[in-house]
Amino acid sequence: MYQKYKNAELVKPSGLDLKDRLVGVQRVTKVTKGGRAFGFSAIVVVGDENGVVGHGLGKSKDVASAIAKAVEDAKKNLVRIPLFKGTVPHEQKGKFGGARVNILPAAPGTGVIAGGAMRHVLEAVGVHDVLSKSQGSSNPHNVVKATFDALLQLRDANVVARQRGISLEKVFNG
């Protein structure tokens, strides 16, 4: 799922205190010759609020089992996100489908300035101070995936120094 991200570190769910957040539940209808068949799809974000987060989609005939399936799916897709003093290390843009997101680091005490599905993802990661903007599609599925796109592109200063083969001081001072 995360093959196109070079620095995506997959995490096993064992030993983590994961909290799940329900982003949205949709009722879907399939029209058959016998009438309408109703089902539910749920999108859930799980995280330990310390840099580990995952998202999942569950579908079922009833809401409770759709949410349970979504939580199980989310636990299979956990990744580690680099955080820096309760915020993101640098500005990053992400996109998925018609959704575009922009995430900016913020000063301590700012809080999570994000709306809808983006807020659930950022809180599950454990970001305390961040500025963000969601543009384009407001479809929760696409906004969650666009937010993950942005978060998975984040790099720690130590990782940048290691990848470039230079010292940490040279990363900041040139």
Query: How confident is the model over 56-115, as pLDDT tens digits?
Result: 999 999 999 999 999 999 999 999 998 888 899 999 999 999 999 999 999 999 999 998
Query: Which pLDDT band holds residue 149 (cuts at 50, 70, 90)?
Result: very high
* pLDDT score, position 68: 96
Claim: this prediction has a pTM higher than 0.85: yes
153 in helix, strand or coil? coil
Mean pLDDT of 130-148: 94
Among 40-49, 123-132, 143-152, 156-165, the range scoring the smallest mean pLDDT is 156-165
Query: Which pLDDT band holds residue 1 (cuts at 50, 70, 90)?
Result: low
Burial label, 101 (beta-carbon count in 10 A; 0-12, 13-18, 19+): buried
Q: Residue 158: how many CB atoms within 10 A of its CB?
A: 12
CA dist., res. 94 & res. 104, Å (int): 12
DSSP state of 73: H
Query: How confident is the model over 3-60, as pLDDT tens digits?
Result: 677 777 777 877 888 999 999 999 999 999 999 999 999 999 999 999 899 999 999 9
